[in-house]
Structure 1
Amino acid sequence: MEIAIVDDMEDDRNLIRHLAHTYFEEKKDLYDVSPNFIEFESGEAFLKKYTPGQYQLVFLDIYMDKVTGIDVAKQISTIDKNCSIIFFTTSNDHLLDGYDVHAVGYIIKPIENHIANFYSAMNYVVSKLELDNAGIIVSTNFDSLYLYYKNILYIDCNNRTVYVHLTDKVLKILGKYSDYKDNFLSDSRFIECFRSIIVNMDYIDTPTASDFILKSGEKLPISRRKRASVMKKYMMYFMHKQ
């Protein structure tokens, strides 16, 4: 896991690195994460070398000369939606700015007085990382592939052939629908909305009386028999994400 620490105070950078390292050591039985820390003493130095997808987590001090942590976060959030941001600051004044850039943590200095908040933010980051990396191995006529759940819109079965609908293509995979059903439904993002159709709820745009309309414009039927339970699970998932 690539982590950037951007703070103009060396002591604070050292403390953040120490706390993060301690967190991962304590959680090593739960999470298989190997952190790699890169430090920057200014927002300008970070942005000069930053490329989208380079870091999974960025620790940002808000109050820095010239380019502030808020300025840095705004640039990150416009080009890298998958990068998590945790702010460190001496004031609550920029709390709303943190929401605007979807920061997952806002830790008040001195940091050692807010360890519980730090751990809570880190738990969210690592859980999100595990979701991003979760997936399934499928076989096709040509090869075995590892598919990330986050890239799957839905799965369906037609004439005993199973199809995985990805964000950029459709794959015909070997095996029966029942071979894959439990694996998909074990992930909280997926729900079986109709017989032999499992949809990733992250890609649902609008539910109607009889269908889920996806962000792609596709329409998937909702079983009349299971509609109440399907809609309850969808609404619970949607509310939990907010």
Structure 2
Amino acid sequence: MFNICICDDSKFFFQELSDKLHRIAQKYDINICIQTYMTSQQLMFDIEELCMNVDLFFLDVLIDKMTGVEIADCLRKQGTEVPIVFLTSSKEHVFDALEVMPLHYLIKEEVQNQKIEEILLKARDIVKHFKVKKFHYKVGRELRVISIEDIVYFEVMNRVISIQSLKGEEDRFYSTLDTIEKQLSKGQFIRVHRSFLVNVSYIEKIESKEIVCRNNIRIPVGASYTKSLKEEYTTYLLEHQ
């Protein structure tokens, strides 16, 4: 699912933009979900959840008490790096937007299907690459990001997930391994136990009842996971010869 958020105080405009996005998504077989907000207050109320889930933002530059640039600044401070597109009727505030690294700056009266198509496809490619490289999680009210290549394994105990990094650092947050597996690209991590999800690139040896990872980190293997572990690890080795 590719999640899009539109914040604009013109119901007619965001409906028009939503229709264009749906038609383009259908053309390229992209499964999208669009959330719309008519005020900055509504968006700011949901900002933490949006930062966790949204893949592309369209923000009206002059929406109400907050500008779209101010909203974007809050999004960046929350830790999200996903593409942001500004919507405006003039180019007056274009330089104000540079610090938050927008993907594009759209003049509403000049919005054409071709331009929206270019933006959607570019954003999809950016997010696809970004998701492969980064893992997002929430500790309390704080959104955190870690490079996938730094994670050795995830462990769960009583719904508390521990992330173990190669440097020996550990962080904890509430979730489930099933939820985490859905966030990761297929083939990156292998479920070796009901409590462990391991980065396949760090596995050095599979023994009878445990695997040995880099730095001699040992992780138990559940009996019901042994067969799938060997199959997935063999596939990984063949693909990375």
- Measured against the shorter chain, the TM-score band is 0.5 to 0.7
Does structure 1 residue 126 correspond to structure 2 residue 124? yes
Query: Of the two structures, which has the highest relative contact order with CA contacts closer than 8 Å and spacing of 6 or more?
Result: 2
> Unaligned stretches of 5+ in structure 2?
132-183, 222-228
Please give the alpha-carbon distance, in whole angstroms, between the structure 1 residues aligned to 2:238 and 2:119.
30
Shift of 1:58: 1.8
Match in the other structure for 1:68: 67
3-state SS of 2:65 partner: coil
- 1:90-169 equivalence runs, <5 A: 90-112=89-111, 114-131=112-129, 132=131, 134-136=185-187, 138-139=189-190, 141-142=192-193, 155=201, 158=204, 163=213
- 1:7-86 equivalence runs, <5 A: 7-28=8-29, 31=30, 33=31, 35-51=32-48, 52-86=51-85
CA 1:171/1:164 → structure 2, altered by over 3 Å: closer, same or farther?
farther
Match in the other structure for 1:207: none
Write out per-residue CA displacement over residues 115-161 of structure 1, whole angstroms, 9 at most, x where no aligned residue: 333222211221233331534165465259777xxxx6x93565787
Shift of 1:103: 1.7
Structure with more of its chain in helix, by fraction:
2
Please give the alpha-carbon distance, in whole angstroms, between the structure 2 residues aligned to 1:103 and 1:164.
39
Shift of 1:27: 0.8
3-state SS of 1:64 partner: coil
> Unaligned stretches of 5+ in structure 1?
186-195, 197-242
AA aligned to 1:42 is T
Does structure 1 residue 180 correspond to structure 2 residue 227? no
3-state SS of 1:130 partner: helix
Q: What is the Cα-based RMSD across aligned positions, in Å?
A: 3.5
AA aligned to 1:14 is Q
3-state SS of 1:155 partner: helix
AA aligned to 1:63 is L
Write out per-residue CA displacement over residues 172-206 of structure 1, whole angstroms, 9 at most, x where no aligned residue: 995597742465x6xxxxxxxxxx8xxxxxxxxxx
Shift of 1:171: 6.7
Q: TM-score, normalised by structure 1?
A: 0.57
Match in the other structure for 1:238: none
Write out per-residue CA displacement over residues 31-54 of structure 1, whole angstroms, 9 at most, x where no aligned residue: 4x2x22222112122112322314
Please give the alpha-carbon distance, in whole angstroms, between the structure 2 residues aligned to 1:172 and 1:61.
51
Q: How many residues align?
A: 172
AA aligned to 2:7 is V
Shift of 1:170: 8.7
Please give the alpha-carbon distance, in whole angstroms, between the structure 2 residues aligned to 1:48 and 1:27.
32
Shift of 1:65: 2.5
Please give the alpha-carbon distance, in whole angstroms, between the structure 1 residues aligned to 2:214 and 2:17.
42
Shift of 1:102: 2.2
